[in-house]
Structure 1
Amino acid sequence: MHSTVALVLAGGRGNRMKTVTPKQYLDLGGKPVLRWCLEAFIAHPRIDAVRVVISPEDRHLYDQATDGLELLSPIDGGAYRQNSVKNGLESLVSTSPERVLIHDGARPF
């Protein structure tokens, strides 16, 4: 059982940025934006596990961005943010965490 899980939403398209690559996968200081976020949660002593909700069509970008990180398997997001949150929360039911922190993967700091 994981008492505290960080659920990171990384399925957005970042349309306002007008880039082909979603902003959570863009390089920031030598790493994808998402990786900065995930490394912070992984390093935090009170976070027991991290799960990422992604867009299925970005799986290759996710795999590259998270190579070597210890994460729970990713979950496919939904059409809207609230659908992605729901999918992520439902994926955690079997582990019964005491706390779930929900964070956007495009916000690394």
Structure 2
Amino acid sequence: MTTPAFWAVIPAAGIGSRMRADRPKQYLDLAGRSILERTLDCFLGHPRLKGLVVCLAADDPWWPTLPSASNELIQRADGGRERADSVLNGLLRLTELGAGSDDWVLVHDAARPNLARADLDRLLGELEFDGVGGLLGVPARDTLKRVGTDGRVVETIDRSVVWQAYTPQMFRLGALHRALADALVAEAAITDEASAMEWAGYAPRMVEGRIDNIKVTTPEDLQRLQRNFAKH
């Protein structure tokens, strides 16, 4: 049996202030193309993609200049104040495009351009019959410390039960929409889609991916990826 078709949502309305650049980080150059275009590549090249929504700031002047802006698989939605608001807008746009509540939706960071096709296929394959969904991640490799407000170590955390959460994060459209909407109304602390699902009482499944599926947060992250892409 083949893996299911899926939709994708890319929240890309952030400004990435820590990059200290003249534009949002998703539009910075990565080996001749923008980070956002590199991020889109893995999805747009997948035969089971039904459609993709990019959530953008209303006054975004950079998106229309990209070749990807004219791709018929990509639709635009308004970004929101927080990531969860942007993703909710993206889910509503998918519904307008014909996505059903039981369809799989993969939410992926706009500034995470090094997603490997093998990881995407692994996520789809391992979660296709899952009752909840889940996300890519990697087990913690370093010793972890819990620190108090005074900066002193309180305890060492058992790293065997700790994972770093990556994206894509894959959930059913209807369940994710309800979880995000209810969490926002309750003013719950939501940092990603999985945390919204956890807040709603679900237990997302972790799927191990590659450690180099990094998110560009600092100039050093971009320099590292520049070197990797230059080898290809």
TM-score, normalised to structure 1's length? 0.88
Aligned-pair identity (%): 39
Query: Which has the greater radius of gyration?
Result: 2
Instruction: Tell me, in whole angstroms, the C-alpha distance in 2 between the residues paired with 1:89 and 1:68.
Output: 21
May I ask how many residue pairs the two structures share in their alignment?
106
Determine if the alignment matches structure 1 residue 16 to structure 2 residue 18: yes
Instruction: Tell me, in whole angstroms, the C-alpha distance in 2 between the residues paired with 1:43 and 1:68.
Output: 15
Determine if the alignment matches structure 1 residue 106 to structure 2 residue 111: yes
Instruction: Pick 1 or 2: higher relative contact order, CA cutoff 8 A, min separation 6.
Output: 1
> Aligned-pair distance for 1:39?
1.8
Q: Which residue of 2 aligns with 1:90?
A: 92
Of residues 44, 47, 50, the one that matches 2:49 is: 47
> Root-mean-square deviation (CA), in Å?
1.5
Instruction: Tell me, in whole angstroms, the C-alpha distance in 1 between the residues paired with 2:91 and 2:31.
Output: 31
Q: Secondary structure at the match of 1:11?
A: coil
Q: Secondary structure at the match of 1:83?
A: helix
Q: Which residue of 2 aligns with 1:26?
A: 28
Q: Which residue of 1 aligns with 2:63?
A: 62
Stretches (4+) displaced over 3 A? none
Q: Secondary structure at the match of 1:89?
A: helix
Structure 1 alignment gaps of length 5 or more: none
Give the letter for the 1:84 counterpart. Answer: S
Structure 2 alignment gaps of length 5 or more: 115-232
Q: Secondary structure at the match of 1:85?
A: helix
Query: Relative to structure 2, which stretch is displaced further, 75-84 or 64-73?
Result: 64-73
